[in-house]
């Protein structure tokens, strides 16, 4: 993901939104490209915290659109069900 797209995505969120990075294991090097921003909720001791999670191709199976392109902004509800996605 390019910086310009990440800035565009993040401009729609409050500055106080929590950000997490989904852990990944890359067998071919020690860095991975950011592929997807997921707007979702993080469960923590019974609380549901709205947050953004940064995903790489190595951290989870990424959602694709009908053209098999990675959806770079994925929105899910507090149960992990996809609400919407955009490229």
- For 38, residues 6+ apart whose C-beta sits below 8 A from its C-beta are 52, 53, 54, 55, 73, 74, 75, 76
Question: How is the chain split into domains, by residue range?
Answer: 3-86
Confidence at residue 39, expressed as pLDDT on a 0 to 100 scale: 94
Does the pTM of the predicted model rise above 0.85?
A: no
Distance CA(67)–CA(55), nearest Å, equals 20
Q: What is the pLDDT of residues 17-53, one digit of tens each?
A: 999 999 877 777 788 889 999 999 988 888 888 999 9
Distance CA(25)–CA(71), nearest Å, equals 21
Confidence at residue 58, expressed as pLDDT on a 0 to 100 scale: 86
């Amino acid at each position: 993901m390019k910086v310009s797209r990440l800035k565009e995505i993040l401009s729609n969120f409050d500055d106080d939104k929590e950000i997490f990075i989904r852990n990944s294991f890359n067998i071919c090097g020690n860095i991975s490209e950011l592929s997807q921003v997921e707007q979702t909720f993080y469960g923590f001791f019974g609380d549901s915290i709205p947050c953004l999670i940064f995903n790489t191709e190595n951290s989870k199976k990424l959602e694709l659109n009908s053209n098999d392109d990675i959806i770079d902004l994925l929105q899910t509800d507090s149960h992990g069900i996809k609400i919407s996605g955009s490229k």
